């Protein structure tokens, strides 16, 4: 008689455990519990270089500043021009992305833009460099205490508010991608 009671008790404990786990999964706090492990900033500037590029077009449609022009008369292969016309090969100076300069730091460092040395060539000659687009990144790193790390980009004001060691919950999709804007403080 004692064995059936023991089996019923074990079965009841398993059901209660499963129901409790399922209820926690459904009704418990959403997201993964994480800890803020690192704050960092990065300032980037694209450096552009003036380069000579070659091209070809109809001679009456050349870009401004074209030089080293060679001409020949051809029939339009697209059929948009009824008569043969002058087609040109040319060179033109254009600013193109050359490299990116970065300045990085943490919460104790003041974010500053890098100031790289730039090459200067005589006016109208290729080789000069100039500063182009700027972009600032304020990032935090979140860890679940295991093998998972997430990096979130924030606006500077929110980034300044946060401190290493703070705990949060963050929704994570089935592919492991964190929904950073929906991060909220963890109560547990």
- Rounded CA separation 184/188 (Å): 12
Spell out the alpha helix ranges (H) of 28-173: 156-161
| Mean pLDDT, the chain, whole residue set | 88
User: Is the pLDDT confidence value at 169 over 70?
Assistant: yes
Helices and strands (H and E) in the chain: how many: 2, 7
- Rounded CA separation 16/185 (Å): 30
Identify the band that residue 30 occupies on the pLDDT scale cut at 50, 70 and 90: low
Question: pLDDT tens digit string along 54-106?
Answer: 999 999 999 999 988 999 999 998 888 889 999 999 999 999 999 999 999 99
Give the Å distances, CA to CA, from 5 to 9, 11, 26, 39, 80.
Answer: 6, 10, 31, 57, 93
User: Is the pLDDT confidence value at 7 over 60?
Assistant: yes
- Token representation of residue 159: 């980034």
φ, ψ of residue 160 to 5 degrees: the values are -65, -30
């Amino acid at each position: 008689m004692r064995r059936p009671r023991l089996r019923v008790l074990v079965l009841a404990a398993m059901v209660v455990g499963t129901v409790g786990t399922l209820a926690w999964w459904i009704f418990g706090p959403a997201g993964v519990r994480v800890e803020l492990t690192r704050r960092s900033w990065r300032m980037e500037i694209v450096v552009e270089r003036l380069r000579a590029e070659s091209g070809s077009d109809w001679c009456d449609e050349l870009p401004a500043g074209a030089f080293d022009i060679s001409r020949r008369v051809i029939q339009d292969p697209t059929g948009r021009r009824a008569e043969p016309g002058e087609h040109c090969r040319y060179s033109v100076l254009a600013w193109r992305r050359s490299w990116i300069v970065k300045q990085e730091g943490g919460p104790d460092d003041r974010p500053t833009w890098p100031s790289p040395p730039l090459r200067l060539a005589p006016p109208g000659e290729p080789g000069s460099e100039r500063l182009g687009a700027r972009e600032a990144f304020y990032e935090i790193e979140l860890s679940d205490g295991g093998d998972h790390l997430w990096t979130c980009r924030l606006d500077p004001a929110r980034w300044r508010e946060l401190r290493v060691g703070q705990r949060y919950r963050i929704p994570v999709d089935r592919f492991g991608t964190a929904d950073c804007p929906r991060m909220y403080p963890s109560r547990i």
